Amino acid sequence: MSDKGMMQQEEIFSKVQRAGRRTYFFDVRATKAGDYYLTITESKKFTNDDGSFHYKKHKIYLYKEDFTEFNELLKEMTDYIIDQKGDEVISERHQKDFKKDDYDPNDDLAEGGEAISSSSTEKFTDISFDDI
């Protein structure tokens, strides 16, 4: 029994995906009846002003009867995002000089409307050494 009076469910099979400040845990667990289900946990690290840190966690429980529809919807949604925006990440976190108000998605297109991949263009960052 844990401190909260609930039995801890042992992980049967686990995988971890690290993604910057976020970590995703995929854990197969067993019900009391011995059937399996999936938990997906997002853990995000936050740093306090004093340098200490804490984690916020969000958990999804996914049962076998929902796997098919969940997989179909996840694929549909991820395909939609890639079809609409491509797979290149556009965000403040990934581009320090990104300004949402100044962003024009057409700037990412070559002649004929094709996207320019970051591997096909050379990127240059203007660096100021005055602060060093």
- Please report whether residue 37 resides in a domain: yes
pLDDT digits (tens, 9 = 90+) for 29-54: 999 999 999 999 999 988 888 989 89
Indicate whether 66 pLDDT > 90.
yes
Task: Report pLDDT for 20.
Answer: 86
Query: Domain limits at 106?
Result: 11-113
Q: Is residue 124 part of a domain?
A: no
- Convert the pLDDT of each residue in 68-97 to its tens digit: 999 999 999 999 999 999 998 877 665 555
| Cα R_g (the chain), whole angstroms | 21
Task: Look at residue 102 in the predicted model and tell me its pLDDT.
Answer: 57
Number of structural domains found in the chain? 1
Query: Does some domain include residue 2?
Result: no
pLDDT in tens, 91-126: 766 555 555 555 555 554 444 444 444 444 444 445
CATH of the domain at 49: 3.10.450.700
**Are 57 and 42 a contacting pair, CB within 8 Å?**
yes
Is 69 a member of any domain? yes
Q: Would residue 28 count as lying in a domain?
A: yes
In a domain, 1, yes or no: no
Domain contains 3: no
Residue 4 burial (C-beta neighbours within 10 Å; 0-12, 13-18, 19+):
exposed
Mean pLDDT of 58-74: 97
Task: Tell me what pLDDT residue 124 has.
Answer: 46
The answer to whether residue 79 is domain-embedded is: yes
pTM beyond 0.75: no
79 close to 73: Cβ distance less than 8 angstroms: no
